Structures are given as structure tokens and as C-alpha cells.
């Protein structure tokens, strides 16, 4: 009997386990298959955990649209969408959020809403969606302003989402202020500074959606290529890991090897076993095919230096795509408070040059848009961080995070929030001290933060199309090596020499042109590479 083709999948995240699941179930055992994972658990950027006796997601959280989502399908079929226990469903954020501005001002929903409508209309237009305008009143007018602005800039090349949003806000302001509308401010806030700061709050949420530290670095043209599934966005009641466990459950014992970190991938040798993998413990494994599913951040680090992850180094088309595409850090902060029914907060901060800024609010809290209980009866609050702030968060001791959060909440809501020990008197928003320990005072008990930026197995959270890159780079990410010349059918640079195909293959969220950054993008990419091999070996069971 001929030797079975040996396939090694690097990484036991969504992409790697989907590929393994497909290869195993569709090949009738015709491959010698293994999955090597550098960490001590499966799931990768899916990391369901526990905090304050509640199930939480440290990584992937949402199914982004249930209509047609393969993740939704698995979660539904495995009964993972229902649970007796409460979960991170964020049911109190919808429509019930209260908005506070620096200085202790609560902002009326009627002030927030037009800005929210404007922001969402601009984002939807940028994403190439048709926006609905069924409001005949002021909000309908905002849709019109946004649509008119969009038409005036359409075809903009080399531009960023940040500059699009900025100009969109200016166009809006020019229209409404001309109409004599909205001159009333609030406390130290003028109407313009307030609306602008609310707009910035929504931009900060967008930073966490995309992982771009700066929306001026997020490519505008690519925004319309990104696809969303229709329908509700939901979280998974039994935890995101239940989907991972389902995919892994078909694999026989021993196929997935944990704590097996690959340090070098030697490829393109013309021999019997074209790929040689080196591991951190010094061991080596030969393979006919490897599917690399490590994150874009790990790839970026892997090509930075000579003696990098690949030997020979990756061809230029591949390394250029890796360099050009964006990959950012997003972290989640969980805060346990002493009180249930804590409101969902939207946080509006003064601009950098404002004289009304509270110096005590740390810089790394200033681009946090929301803080909300993970379900309506939970003591656990959640905030999302992106970019520099997210990276800083990972480095801070818990004590400092607690201080930063309570100062921020105190300064914005005008209510006192304390550390649990209750010893240190805290400053009220108006600068006076308060020492009594009444029941009204909300205390922060403990915090937990994800740490995706500093972890060498991830080096960040997810990818985005940076200004200077494009969807073509995402396609380049997916190309297997060695590259076959489409015209001649020959391997580039090898003339007529016989070179083994599909030595190094790539899957993972950053290899999907329209669903990058998501779990379902990772899923599709794993299927794609499994199918490439199945087709190559004419396996069709
Ligand atoms: C905070 C956060 C929130 C998110 N929220 C959402 C969300 O709400 N919805 C959504 O759809 N997506 C979300 N995502 C994105 C989603 O988690 C990822 O897109 C997806 O899980 C990526 O899967 P992957 O298989 O491509 O990569 P990974 O999950 O990164 O898998 C790669 C695996 O390779 C391993 N590895 C790395 N280097 C080596 C090595 N040298 N040797 C061996 N193994 C190695 C890693 O340990 C990892 O397990 C979020 C991500 C984060 C971090
Ligand atoms: C799967 O492989 C087994 C043994 O190699 C063989 O007997 C069987 O017919 C195969 N099944 C299919 C569907 O080809
Ligand atoms: C934008 O760039 C694309 C491809 O680079 C080009 O085909 C198109 O004509 C450009 N559009 C404008 C308005 O410059
Ligand atoms: C600050 O606010 C507290 C509580 O609202 C109030 O009791 C106190 O008098 C205020 N101090 C000053 C200096 O205004
Ligand atoms: C994954 O969750 C565990 C807690 O269950 C935590 O210790 C670890 O830091 C998390 N990983 C990342 C990268 O945040």
C-alpha cells in the first residue's frame, strides 16, 4: 500500500480545526493527519472563560449576522444557543444605554440619536449598503445629508474611513448649523463640541470592530468589499468554544497535539518529503503539505528578520501582502462591581485640546465608548479597547485599571465609585472629597483583561485592510506555495523541474477576502484549503 500523504495543520483555532474536520470526514482516512498547536488549549482566538462565576468570552464573542452563517448553523445544531445559565448576551445595551459626558453631564437620548443616525448612515454607505430613509422628519433629513455627502465623494481612492467620517461630520454640521438647529449646549459643552464628541464615541466603537488603532489607517475602498450576514447578531449561550469542541470531536485521539510550537518551516526541497517542520523542543516532522493558520500578527513577526519562520523566505508577493495588511489589537475588560442593575453607559470624552478635561482620567480610558453589564442581572461590566489603549491595558496592574475605571466613571456620571476596600476617600466630579460609605456607592471588586497583543501565539486580535493594501492582498494571503504559473502550468522559477505542489498552504481569518477578521471567515478559509487538498487527491466521498 502506498504511503498516505502526510498533512500537518499548524494551529488549532477555527481555521485549523475546520480544515482538520473536513479532511478527516471527507477522505475516508486516506491522509496521515495532524494538527500541531503551540498553546496548551484548542480554540485560538476563541477563548471562553470564567469571571466572577460567569461564563465570558475573552476573544470572539458575536456571530456577526445569523443569516447564512456557518457558525450559527453549528451552534444551532449542537444546541449551543440555549442555556439554563445566564451568559454574555449584552441584553441591556440595546436601546437602554445612558450617555454621560465628561464633567458629569447626562446627555438626553434626543441629542445622541441624530448623531447615531448620522454615524450609522455614513458607515453603511461606506460599506456599500442601501440605507433606508423612512423618517420624514429630522432623522430623515440626516439620511439625506449623509447620502448627498456620500455621492459627492464616491470613487474616492486611497482614502481612509477616518477621513470619510470626518468630512461626513463636517458636511452634516454645515447643513444643520445653517438651519439654525441645535445651538443649545450643555454645561461646559457647546452643541458642536458635544455632537462631535458623541460622533467620536461611535468612531471608537468602530475601532474595536475593525481593530484599527486609527480609522485614518483603515482603507475606505475596501470597506465596501467586506460582507456581513443578514439578520441578528447574537452571542453563543453555551460559549463560543462549544463550536470548536464540535469541530474537534470527530478527530481521533492524538490528531491534535498541544504545546507543539513550530519555529521554522523548511519548504521547497525537491525530495520525498518536501516540507520539514522544526519545533521549539528541537524535534522535526516531515510533511507533504502544511496548512499554516497562524495569525497575521504571527506571520508579520515571522518574516521580519532573516532566519524567520520560513526557509527559504516567502516569495515577495506573499511577504508584501503580509506587510501591507493591517492587524490590530482589541482587548476586552471585565469589571466586577458590587451592584447589580448597573446601567449600560456610553462614554463621551472631551477633545485632547479641551480646557475642561479631567487630568485624572488616564489616557488609556479616553477612547472607551461603552461600559455595560454582560446581561441585565449581572455584576460584571464589559468594555472594549482597541489599538494603543488595548495594548496598554495588558501591561497595567489590576489596581491601576480599577483606579482608572472608577475615576472615569466618577468624572462622567458625577456618581461616586470606589475600590472595594473603601478605605481611600474618592474625589467627586466637583472636586470635593467624600468619606461616608453609604450603600449607594458602587464598588469595583476585581477586573480581568484579555491579553491578545502580547501573546506570542497571536500578537494581536484581527486583521483589517490598511490604507495602502487592498482585497487583492487578502487573496494573495490565500495562495498556496510554491506558486504555479497560471499560463505555463510550471512552478515559478523552476523551469521544467518537477516540484511538489501545495507544500505550504494558508488558512485563517486574514486569508479571506470578504469575511476577514471573523470566526466564519476563518471557518471558510479552513474549508477552502481542505477542499484544495481533497480535489488535488481526487477525494470525493
Ligand atoms: C478580543 C477578540 C474579539 C473577537 N470578536 C469576534 C466576534 O465577536 N466575532 C467574530 O466572528 N470574530 C471575532 N474575533 C475574531 C476571531 O476570534 C478570529 O477571527 C478567529 O477566531 C481566528 O481564527 P484562526 O483560526 O484564523 O486563528 P487563531 O484562532 O489565531 O488560530 C491560530 C492558532 O495557531 C496557534 N499558533 C500560533 N503560532 C503558532 C506556532 N508557531 N506553532 C503552532 N501553533 C501556533 C495559535 O495558538 C492559535 O491557536 C475576535 C477576536 C478577538 C481577539
Ligand atoms: C473506505 O476505506 C475502506 C478501507 O480502506 C474501504 O473498505 C471502503 O470501501 C472505503 N469507503 C468508501 C466510501 O470508499
Ligand atoms: C480607483 O482605483 C481603481 C483601481 O486602482 C481604478 O480602477 C479607478 O479608476 C480609480 N477611481 C478613481 C475615481 O480614481
Ligand atoms: C460636590 O458635590 C457633592 C455631592 O453632590 C456636594 O455635597 C458638595 O457640596 C459639592 N461640593 C462643592 C464644592 O460644590
Ligand atoms: C484565555 O483565557 C484565560 C482564562 O481562562 C486567560 O488566562 C488567558 O489570558 C486568555 N488568553 C488571552 C490571549 O487573553
CATH number at residue 246: 3.50.50.60
**The last residue of a domain, from among 172, 199, 223:** 223
Ligand 3 atom closest to Cα of residue 157: 1
Position 203 in a domain: yes
- Residue 157 has what pLDDT? 62
Give the whole-angstrom CA distance, residue 75 versus residue 523. Answer: 13
- The alpha carbon of 529 and the centre of ligand 3 are apart by a number of angstroms equal to 32
Asked if residue 183 and residue 143 are part of one domain, the reply reads yes
Say if ligand 5 is within 6 A of residue 452 CB. yes
Say if ligand 1 is within 6 A of residue 295 CB. yes
Rounded to the nearest angstrom, the gap between the alpha carbon of residue 146 and the centroid of all alpha carbons in its chain is: 27
Ligand 2 atom closest to Cα of residue 541: 13
| Low-confidence spans in the chain with pLDDT less than 50 | 181-182, 422-425, 435-438
Nearest protein CA to atom 6 of ligand 5, as residue = 450
- The alpha carbon of 91 and the centre of ligand 1 are apart by a number of angstroms equal to 25
Nearest protein CA to atom 14 of ligand 4, as residue = 430
Give the whole-angstrom CA distance, residue 88 versus residue 54. Answer: 8
Give the whole-angstrom CA distance, residue 519 versus residue 47. Answer: 12
Asked if 505 and 512 count as a contact pair (C-beta separation under 8 A), the reply is no
Nearest protein CA to atom 4 of ligand 4, as residue = 428
Give the whole-angstrom CA distance, residue 297 versus residue 460. Answer: 6
Residue of 228, 160, 164, 227 whose CA lies nearest to 466: 160
* Cell of residue 338, nine digits: 458590587
- Residue 5 has what pLDDT? 96
**The last residue of a domain, from among 223, 256, 271:** 223
Say if ligand 5 is within 6 A of residue 334 CB. no
- Residue 447 has what pLDDT? 98
- Residue 424 has what pLDDT? 47
Ligand 5 atom closest to Cα of residue 451: 14
Asked if residue 199 and residue 264 are part of one domain, the reply reads no
* Choice from 42, 45, 210, 464 to test ligand 1 binding pocket (greatest atom count within 8 A of CB): 45
Residue bearing cell 501573546: 455
Position 283 in a domain: yes
Strands 417-419 and 442-449: parallel
Which structural domain, as residue segments, surrounds residue 295?
Answer: 6-44+239-327+461-536
Q: Is the peptide bond before 474 cis (omega within 30 degrees of 0)?
A: no
Asked if residue 468 and residue 320 are part of one domain, the reply reads yes
- Residue 422 has what pLDDT? 47
Position 378 in a domain: no
Asked if residue 484 and residue 520 are part of one domain, the reply reads yes
Long-range contacts of 177-180 (CB under 8 A, 24+ apart): none
Query: E strands, 420-531, where?
Result: 426-427, 433-434, 442-449, 462-464, 504-506
Asked if residue 209 and residue 136 are part of one domain, the reply reads yes
- Residue 487 has what pLDDT? 63
Instruction: Indicate if the alpha-carbon torsion angle 371, 376, 379, 382 is positive or negative.
Output: negative
Say if ligand 5 is within 6 A of residue 394 CB. no
- The alpha carbon of 426 and the centre of ligand 4 are apart by a number of angstroms equal to 13
- Residue 441 has what pLDDT? 78
Kindly list the distances between the CA atom of residue 386 and the CA atoms of 71, 339, 367, 394, 399, in Å, as whole numbers in the listed order: 25, 27, 8, 11, 20
Say if ligand 5 is within 6 A of residue 319 CB. no
Ligand 5 atom closest to Cα of residue 47: 1
Cα separation of the two ends of the chain? 20
Kindly list the distances between the CA atom of residue 505 and the CA atoms of 17, 287, 389, 529, in Å, as whole numbers in the listed order: 15, 12, 34, 7
Position 76 in a domain: no
Position 472 in a domain: yes
Nearest protein CA to atom 14 of ligand 3, as residue = 157
Instruction: Indicate if the alpha-carbon torsion angle 396, 336, 205, 185 is positive or negative.
Output: negative
Say if ligand 1 is within 6 A of residue 12 CB. yes
* Choice from 24, 27, 28 to test ligand 2 binding pocket (greatest atom count within 8 A of CB): 28
- The alpha carbon of 24 and the centre of ligand 2 are apart by a number of angstroms equal to 13
* Choice from 41, 46, 48, 49 to test ligand 5 binding pocket (greatest atom count within 8 A of CB): 49
Asked if residue 258 and residue 192 are part of one domain, the reply reads no
Model confidence, pTM: 0.91
Asked if residue 201 and residue 114 are part of one domain, the reply reads yes
Give the whole-angstrom CA distance, residue 125 versus residue 224. Answer: 8
Position 155 in a domain: yes
- The alpha carbon of 525 and the centre of ligand 2 are apart by a number of angstroms equal to 27
- Residue 440 has what pLDDT? 65
* Choice from 103, 410, 428 to test ligand 4 binding pocket (greatest atom count within 8 A of CB): 428
The closest ligand to the CA of 441 turns out to be: 4
Asked if residue 302 and residue 252 are part of one domain, the reply reads yes
Asked if residue 184 and residue 132 are part of one domain, the reply reads yes
Asked if 347 and 229 count as a contact pair (C-beta separation under 8 A), the reply is no
Residue of 237, 281, 327, 312 whose CA lies nearest to 511: 327
Asked if residue 209 and residue 169 are part of one domain, the reply reads yes
Ligand 3 atom closest to Cα of residue 470: 5
Asked if residue 215 and residue 180 are part of one domain, the reply reads yes
For 146, phi then psi, to 5°, come to: -65, -45
Nearest protein CA to atom 1 of ligand 3, as residue = 157
- The alpha carbon of 486 and the centre of ligand 3 are apart by a number of angstroms equal to 26
- The alpha carbon of 27 and the centre of ligand 2 are apart by a number of angstroms equal to 9
* Choice from 152, 155, 156, 157 to test ligand 3 binding pocket (greatest atom count within 8 A of CB): 157
Position 295 in a domain: yes
**The last residue of a domain, from among 223, 253, 280:** 223
Say if ligand 4 is within 6 A of residue 157 CB. no
Say if ligand 4 is within 6 A of residue 430 CB. yes
- The alpha carbon of 436 and the centre of ligand 4 are apart by a number of angstroms equal to 13
Q: How many domains does the chain have?
A: 2
Position 375 in a domain: no
Residues with CB under 6 A from ligand 3: 155, 157
Asked if residue 309 and residue 216 are part of one domain, the reply reads no
Nearest protein CA to atom 12 of ligand 2, as residue = 28
* Cell of residue 16, nine digits: 485549523
Amino acid at each position: 500500500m502506498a504511503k498516505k500523504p502526510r498533512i500537518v495543520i499548524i494551529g488549532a483555532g477555527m481555521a485549523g480545526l475546520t480544515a482538520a474536520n473536513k479532511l478527516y470526514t471527507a477522505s475516508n482516512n486516506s491522509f496521515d493527519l495532524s494538527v500541531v498547536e503551540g498553546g496548551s488549549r484548542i480554540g485560538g482566538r476563541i477563548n471562553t472563560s470564567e469571571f466572577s462565576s460567569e461564563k465570558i468570552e475573552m476573544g470572539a464573542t458575536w456571530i456577526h449576522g445569523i443569516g447564512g452563517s456557518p457558525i450559527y448553523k453549528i451552534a444551532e445544531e449542537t444546541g449551543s444557543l440555549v442555556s439554563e445559565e445566564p451568559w454574555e448576551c449584552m441584553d441591556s445595551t440595546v436601546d437602554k444605554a445612558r450617555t454621560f459626558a465628561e464633567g458629569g453631564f447626562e446627555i438626553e437620548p434626543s441629542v445622541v440619536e441624530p448623531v447615531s443616525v448620522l454615524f450609522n448612515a455614513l458607515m453603511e454607505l461606506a460599506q456599500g449598503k442601501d440605507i433606508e430613509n423612512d423618517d420624514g422628519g429630522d432623522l430623515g433629513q440626516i439620511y439625506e445629508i449623509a447620502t448627498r455627502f456620500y455621492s459627492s465623494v464616491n470613487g474616492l481612492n486611497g482614502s481612509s474611513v477616518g477621513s470619510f467620517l470626518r468630512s461626513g461630520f463636517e458636511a452634516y454640521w454645515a447643513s444643520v448649523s445653517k438651519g439654525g438647529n441645535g445651538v443649545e449646549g450643555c454645561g461646559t459643552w457647546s452643541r458642536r463640541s458635544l455632537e462631535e464628541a458623541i460622533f467620536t464615541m461611535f468612531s471608537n466603537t468602530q475601532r474595536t470592530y475593525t481593530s484599527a488603532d486609527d480609522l485614518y489607517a483603515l482603507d475606505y475602498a475596501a470597506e465596501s468589499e467586506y460582507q456581513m450576514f443578514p439578520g441578528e447578531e447574537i452571542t453563543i449561550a453555551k460559549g463560543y468554544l462549544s463550536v470548536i469542541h464540535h469541530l474537534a470531536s470527530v478527530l481521533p485521539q492524538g490528531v491534535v497535539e498541544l504545546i507543539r510550537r513550530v519555529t521554522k518551516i523548511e519548504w521547497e526541497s525537491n525530495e520525498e518529503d518536501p516540507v520539514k517542520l522544526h519545533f521549539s523542543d528541537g524535534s522535526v516532522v516531515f510533511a507533504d503539505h502544511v496548512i499554516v493558520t497562524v495569525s497575521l500578527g504571527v506571520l508579520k513577526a515571522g518574516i521580519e528578520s532573516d532566519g524567520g519562520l520560513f526557509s527559504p523566505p516567502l516569495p515577495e508577493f506573499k511577504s508584501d501582502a503580509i506587510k501591507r495588511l493591517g492587524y490590530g489589537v482589541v482587548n476586552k475588560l471585565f469589571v466586577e462591581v458590587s451592584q447589580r442593575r448597573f446601567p449600560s453607559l456610553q462614554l463621551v470624552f472631551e477633545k485632547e485640546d479641551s480646557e475642561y478635561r479631567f487630568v485624572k482620567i488616564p489616557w488609556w480610558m479616553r477612547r472607551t465608548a461603552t461600559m455595560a453589564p454582560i446581561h441585565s442581572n449581572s455584576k460584571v461590566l464589559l468594555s472594549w479597547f482597541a489599538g494603543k489603549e488595548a495594548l496598554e491595558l495588558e501591561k497595567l496592574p489590576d489596581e491601576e485599571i480599577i483606579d482608572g475605571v472608577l475615576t472615569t466613571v466618577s468624572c462622567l456620571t458625577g456618581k461616586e465609585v470606589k475600590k472595594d476596600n473603601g478605605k481611600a476617600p474618592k474625589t467627586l466630579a466637583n472636586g470635593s472629597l467624600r468619606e461616608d460609605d453609604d450603600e449607594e456607592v458602587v464598588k469595583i471588586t476585581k477586573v480581568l483583561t484579555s491579553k491578545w497583543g502580547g501573546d506570542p501565539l497571536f500578537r494581536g486580535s484581527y486583521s483589517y485592510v490598511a490604507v495602502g493594501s487592498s482585497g487583492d492582498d487578502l487573496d494573495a494571503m490565500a495562495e498556496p506555495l510554491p506558486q504555479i504559473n497560471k499560463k505555463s502550468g510550471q512552478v515559478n522559477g523552476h523551469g521544467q523541474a518537477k516540484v511538489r505542489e501545495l507544500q505550504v498552504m494558508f488558512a485563517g481569518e486574514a486569508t479571506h477576502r470578504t469575511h476577514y477578521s471573523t470566526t466564519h471567515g476563518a471557518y471558510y478559509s479552513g474549508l477552502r484549503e481542505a477542499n484544495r487538498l481533497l480535489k488535488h487527491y481526487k477525494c470525493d466521498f
